[in-house]
Amino acid sequence: MDAAVFLISAAIVLAGAGGVLVARSPVHAALFLVQTLFGVSVLFVLQDATFLAAIQVIVYAGAVVILFLFVIMLLGVDRSEDLGMEPIVGQRPVAALVGASLLGMLLIALLVSVDGPTGAHGANAALGDAADNTRRLGEALFTDYVFAVELTAILLTIAVIGAVVLARKVRGPLAPLPVVVVASATIEDPEAGDGPTDTTDGHAAGEDT
């Protein structure tokens, strides 16, 4: 039973990841990401990490991806990317090489090692069953790790403030981004079809915030 659930969830996860990789439109990619996150959430449930599964869905799939979609809508960055051509020479082979190597190394490291992971049992707290998970997690967080929690709260606050500052509307006209020769292959918009305007190899004219 577990195996079946696992395999199905694994298939969902990997399909979603593959979709993110090859989706031409960002909206499609976001949706595929949601698929992956759901699959991972199921896998969490399988491991009795019920709280995390819920948080995964609520925060990750619910908030973060929505944020993605908001930005896509806001900026109109929903133009399709031309996946056929790659402007940087050798990037694809390098990417394939890196991916394959990473996969190989990780598999070796995680699976072939004789001893396996050797964490001390009960270093943090004992793991309970699924129903008890939230309570135990809350206990551990707010007693042993309360400082870390406070810090993450501060971190979130800072992130919010930073985001607000960064994304403010600017007064006055914006300086255009400098165009570099390499980036001649921009995203091709099937509708508009405009390319780079000038080909000067200049420096940024100062970024305004």
Partner 1 sequence: MLDLVWLVPAFPLAGFLILTFGGRRLGEPTAGWLATGAMAGSFLATAGAFYELAGRDVHDRRSVTTLFEWVPAGDLTVDVGFLADPLSLTMCLFVTGVGALIHLYSIGYMHGDAGFRRFFAYLNLFAFAMLMLVLGDNLLLTFLGWEGVGACSYLLISFWFTDEANASAGKKAFITNRIGDWGFMVAIFMTFATFGTVAYVDVLDTTAAGTVATSTATVIALMLFVGAIGKSAQFPLYLWLPDAMAGPTPVSALIHAATMVTSGIYLLTRVNPIIADAADWVPTLIAWTGAGTALFAATIAVAQRDIKKVLAYSTVSQLGYMFLAVGCGAYVAAVFHMITHAFFKALLFLGSGSVIHGMDGDQDMAHYGGLRRFMPITAGTFVIGWLAIAGVPPFAGFWSKDEILAFAWNESPLLWAVGLVTAVLTAFYMTRLVILTFFGRHRYADPRPDEVDEAWAAALAAADGAVVAAAAALDAAVAASEAGTDEPAAAEAMVAAKAAHEAATIERDLIVAASGERPELPALALYGEPEVGPVADRLPDEVAARSDHHPHESPWTMALPLVVLAVLSVLGGLIQLPFSSATKRLEGWLEPTLFGNEVHLSVGTGTLWVLAALAVAGGAVGIVVAVAAYLQRRVDHSAFEQPILADAWRFDRLVSNFMGGPGRAGFEATANFDSTVVDGAVESVATMVKVEAGLLRRFHNGLVRTYAAGIGVGAVGLVVWFLSRTSF
Partner 2 sequence: MVVTTSWYLALAAVLFSMGAVGLLTRRNPLIMIMCVELMLNAVNLTFVSLGAELGDLGGQLSVFFVLVVAASEVVVGLAVVVAIMRRRQGATVDDLSVLRG
**Which residues within the stretch 55-84 sit at the binding site for partner 2 (CB under 8 A)?**
55-56, 59-60, 63-64, 67-68, 71-72, 74-77, 79, 81
Q: Does 204 bind partner 1 (CB under 8 A)?
A: no
Q: Is 60 in contact with 69 (CB distance < 8 Å)?
A: no
Alpha-carbon span 200 to 209, nearest angstrom: 23
Q: Does 42 bind partner 2 (CB under 8 A)?
A: no
Does an H or E element contain 169, and which? none
Q: What's the min distance (Å) between Cβ of 84 and partner 2?
A: 12
Q: What's the min distance (Å) between Cβ of 131 and partner 2?
A: 15
**Which residues within the stretch 114-153 sit at the binding site for partner 2 (CB under 8 A)?**
117, 119, 121-127, 133, 136-137, 140-141, 145, 148, 152
How far from 24 is each of 40, 48, 80, 152, CA to CA, in Å? 23, 36, 5, 35
Alpha carbons within 13 A on the beta-carbon side of 32: 17
- Of 113 and 152, which CB lies nearer to partner 1 in the complex structure? 113
- Of 114 and 120, which CB lies nearer to partner 1 in the complex structure? 114
Neighbours of 8 (CB within 10 A): 12
Residue showing tokens 């990401």: 33
Q: Which two tokens stand for residue 104?
A: 């190989």
The footprint of partner 1 (CB under 8 A) covers: 88, 91, 94-95, 97-98, 101-102, 105-106, 108-109, 112-114, 180, 182-183
